[in-house]
Structure 1
Amino acid sequence: MVKFQDFQLSPSILKSLKRIGFEETTPIQEQSLPFSLAGRDIIGQAQTGTGKTAAFGIPMVERTDARVKAPQGLVIAPTRELAIQVSEELHKIGYDKKVQVLAVYGGQDIQRQIRALKKQPAIIVGTPGRLLDHMNRKTVDLSRIRIVVLDEADEMLNMGFIEDIEAILEKLPAERQTLLFSATMPERIRQTALRFMKNPEFIKIRSKEMTVPQIDQYFVKVEEKDKFDALTRFLDYHSPDLAIVFGRTKRRVDELSEALSIRGYTAEGIHGDLSQAKRLSVLRKFKEGNIDVLVATDVAARGLDISGVTHVYNFDIPQDPESYVHRIGRTGRAGNSGMAVTFVAPREMGYLREVEKTTGRRMRRIDVPSLKEAIEGQQRLAMEKIHAAISENDLSLYREAAEELLSESDPVAVVSAALKLLTKEPDRTPVKLSFERPLPAKRTAKNRKTSVKQKEAVNGQKYFRRKTAGKR
């Protein structure tokens, strides 16, 4: 496997990559970096979750001069969620080079964005509509863009953004580097690429077969506000030896680990903002069994090699199927069985179907355990502890007290009392988690066509108003 240091990257980028735990390249990075770092245009075809962000982020940061107060890199992404995700990863890659990154997208206060744009960030990540809006308002200057990236181009085509993208590309400097990444390569995408790119290098990464044979996979349909109580019920019912809970954001991980601790679980979180020393400390405690529940983001869990994980809970369903496979692969190792439970909001069911399509396996739906079932799960754990103590056969110091208890009380009452003391009953202490918006509903072929028609109708109305302006 090729390492990042083999590409003669600047020391600041190598330092940032080491901080976030990136050492070896993924196939898309290995094949694209030699061309992109040499300034070549690239058309890369690879599934989401294969490391595309670093594949284009590294050459973008490398080509950026932090001393120049002007945008030099531009990433166009289909959704606000992806724009935020990409900007966060670019910030990490450019951290030691002090490269400023800004995400602009619809739904956020545009005046706030205008103020941020006046500070001239080196890299802008934006959705097509909001980027065009800023360009028309002349609140963004793209005249010094050196490198532009079209991320998930096929999704932007499906969402009816291709005309917006072409309008943006037409206004960028002719002398620039253009990188396009897409999971599929429709003819319209290919035509657009050839029109706006110079002798691009085509790179195609075949998606490896996704197999997770020893993992029982389930999903539970649950609203955002009910997810935490559902998680604690599952933890009580399953009584996992070691469990990993995956959250989508750093804030989510921090809040979940704190809330679980409040409810009496030994839990800690890891994410990209933790120092390497802290991360290693948490992982050591988890491996040694001093932490029952590890809460993590996808980036922080990259490359985790921990044996004995019995359960994985996807508190937030990932946006792409390969991240899902990577997550649940933390369990079911070395021939052992494992269990994965994914929490899905009603509007996120399309993402679940994408996961099933990728893995080739249907997930079974389960209900949240009842309070009675949660208590029974903890009772089973208490009984296992008693059986283990009996098998160790080192009870001589306790026999006299036990005989005294049995002489005074009913034997069943004595055992029941012992079980009650050993059983961790569900804790209902109130906790507060910040609301996280569910992923945007997956577009079906039908509503994709509808959205394109609606967009064409809006564009037609704008054209009509321009033509008839002044004739009234």
Structure 2
Amino acid sequence: MGVAAEIADALAARNIVRPFSIQELTLPRALIGRDIIGQARTGMGKTLGFGVPLLDRVFDDADIDELDGTPRALVVVPTRELAVQVGDDLTHAASQTPVRVTTIYGGRPYEDQIAALADGVDVVVGTPGRLIDLYDRGDLALSAVAILVLDEADEMLAMGFLPDIEKLWAAVRPDAQTMLFSATMPGPILALARAKMRKPVHIRAEAPSASRTHDTTRQVVLKSHRMDKSEVVARILQAQGRGRTIIFARTKRSAAELADDLAGRGFTVATVHGDLGQRAREESLDAFRRGAADILVATDVAARGIDVDDVTHVINFQTPDDPMTYVHRIGRTGRAGKNGTAVTLVGYDEVRKWAAINDELKLGIRDLPEWFSTSPELHEALDIPESATARVGRPRKVLGARPAQARGRKRR
């Protein structure tokens, strides 16, 4: 596809040799500097869809000045976890080139990030707030940035980052190539694209009529009494073929309580939620990625940076608040062509909420079975052995579950 051999070899070293559809559609246009609007669900490969052409152009494109340690490309993402994931992916892809990638986000010391910028970087990946802070302080130079990527633009809009995005966009080169990726295209994002982008190519990774959930994900939805949900989850975690599993809870408190409960039952659990400090969250995600913990209990915001292809099960401990949250949650499994299972436990007070999700996404799952942890139907539907019990071993500690610093203490 015209990608530099050094980048292709680095990807091949990680067994990445064939492009996903979003990559196949994006690369030929992005490599020649076209502005791109890319629409793709999570797990469709969009990070390398913009990352490969970005690195290729920064590495060897006559339209971009020779590398001198001043940033030539900027990738803006909504959350810290996603910044880490994207930064890692680009670092691996650039490992056989001289292109230097650094990641900038809040919750970590300014000094380390300022030192990295002072040492010289070519590609910066970061969250809006910390990027703006360093730009305003004069530590982050953006005037030579020739490629700007906005990843998960709809999420950044929902989180109130639109003014920051506009400020960062105004700071880069006027002729910068822009690539905007988003699962949905709300009005303000389209208006921004029309005002700022130059004849962008709008690329969809699938037909507009395609299902918004992966065909490779089996969806199981059941009514579950809130007093029995933990017992149900404990049985599901003993299903045949169950590998890495993400369990979504609606609130920080319920995530922490569920993680403690499962660890007390003998499961190896990590957790990420807003009451954890940044270092604890990173330790939890690292434990999950490398397999030290095969279960991750997470809230929606904290889980946005999780990009692991071999998640076999997603469990919605509580019904999501809206259809797109449901799509994002269960999109963590059934990725990269692999099969996955998504289980949603609908409380008796959540039936209307599920009905709205079902109707909006046209799932055809309206009449929900009422199963308990001991129901044979539950065991049969999810391939849970009859020998499954409420506990699997001695109580354990939850990995990474160190609380954040006291709110009154100043952090830099």
TM-score range, shorter chain: 0.5 to 0.7
The CA deviation string for residues 127-153 of structure 1, in whole angstroms up to 9 with x for no partner, is 222211111111111232121111222
8 Å CA contact 2:333, 2:339 repeated in 1: no
Alignment CA distance shift 1:130-1:118 (3 Å): same
Equivalent residue number for residue 323 of structure 1:
331
8 Å CA contact 2:55, 2:94 repeated in 1: yes
Alignment of 1:234-245 (within 5 A): 234-236=236-238, 240-245=239-244
1:360 is the counterpart of 2:363: yes
Alignment CA distance shift 1:295-1:166 (3 Å): closer
Please state how far the C-alpha of 1:329 moved relative to its aligned partner. 8.0
8 Å CA contact 1:78, 1:127 repeated in 2: yes
**RMSD, matched Cα:** 5.0
The CA deviation string for residues 66-104 of structure 1, in whole angstroms up to 9 with x for no partner, is 963222210112233332332232223223335433222
Match of 1:39 among 26, 33, 37: 33
Equivalent residue number for residue 433 of structure 1:
398
Whole-angstrom distance in 2 between the partners of 1:84 and 1:70: 21
Describe the SS at the equivalent of 2:243: strand
Equivalent residue number for residue 150 of structure 2:
150
Equivalent residue number for residue 134 of structure 2:
134
8 Å CA contact 1:42, 1:178 repeated in 2: yes
Please state how far the C-alpha of 1:358 moved relative to its aligned partner. 4.5
Greater relative CO, 1 or 2 (CA 8 Å, sep 6+): 2
Equivalent residue number for residue 343 of structure 2:
341
Alignment CA distance shift 1:64-1:231 (3 Å): farther
Match of 1:17 among 7, 11, 24: 11
Q: Which has the higher helix share?
A: 1
Q: Report which of the two structures shows the higher radius of gyration computed on alpha carbons.
A: 1
Whole-angstrom distance in 2 between the partners of 1:139 and 1:352: 50
Alignment of 1:47-446 (within 5 A): 47-65=41-59, 68-97=68-97, 99-205=99-205, 206=207, 208-209=210-211, 210=213, 211=215, 215-217=219-221, 232-236=234-238, 240-247=239-246, 299-301=308-310, 312=313, 314=315, 320-321=328-329, 323-324=331-332, 326=334, 340-341=342-343, 358=361, 360=363, 369=373, 381=386, 426-435=391-400
Whole-angstrom distance in 2 between the partners of 1:35 and 1:49: 21
8 Å CA contact 2:149, 2:178 repeated in 1: yes
Whole-angstrom distance in 2 between the partners of 1:70 and 1:34: 26
Q: How many percent identity over aligned positions?
A: 31
Whole-angstrom distance in 1 between the partners of 2:224 and 2:17: 36
Whole-angstrom distance in 2 between the partners of 1:331 and 1:172: 42
**Residue type matched to 1:25 in 2?**
P
Q: Which range moved further: 14-23 or 133-142?
A: 14-23
Q: Specify every segment of 5 or more residues in structure 1 that has no aligned partner in the other structure, as ranges.
A: 1-6, 249-255, 280-292, 303-310, 333-338, 345-349, 371-378, 383-422, 438-472
Alignment CA distance shift 1:360-1:233 (3 Å): closer
TM-score, normalised relative to structure 1: 0.56
Please state how far the C-alpha of 1:34 moved relative to its aligned partner. 0.7
TM-score, normalised relative to structure 2: 0.63
Alignment CA distance shift 1:312-1:272 (3 Å): closer
8 Å CA contact 1:271, 1:299 repeated in 2: no
Equivalent residue number for residue 461 of structure 1:
none
Alignment CA distance shift 1:39-1:271 (3 Å): farther
Please state how far the C-alpha of 1:30 moved relative to its aligned partner. 1.5
8 Å CA contact 1:245, 1:315 repeated in 2: no
Alignment CA distance shift 1:41-1:431 (3 Å): same
Q: Specify every segment of 5 or more residues in structure 2 that has no aligned partner in the other structure, as ranges.
A: 60-65, 248-258, 269-285, 297-305, 318-324, 347-352, 375-383, 403-412
Q: How many corresponding residue pairs?
A: 335
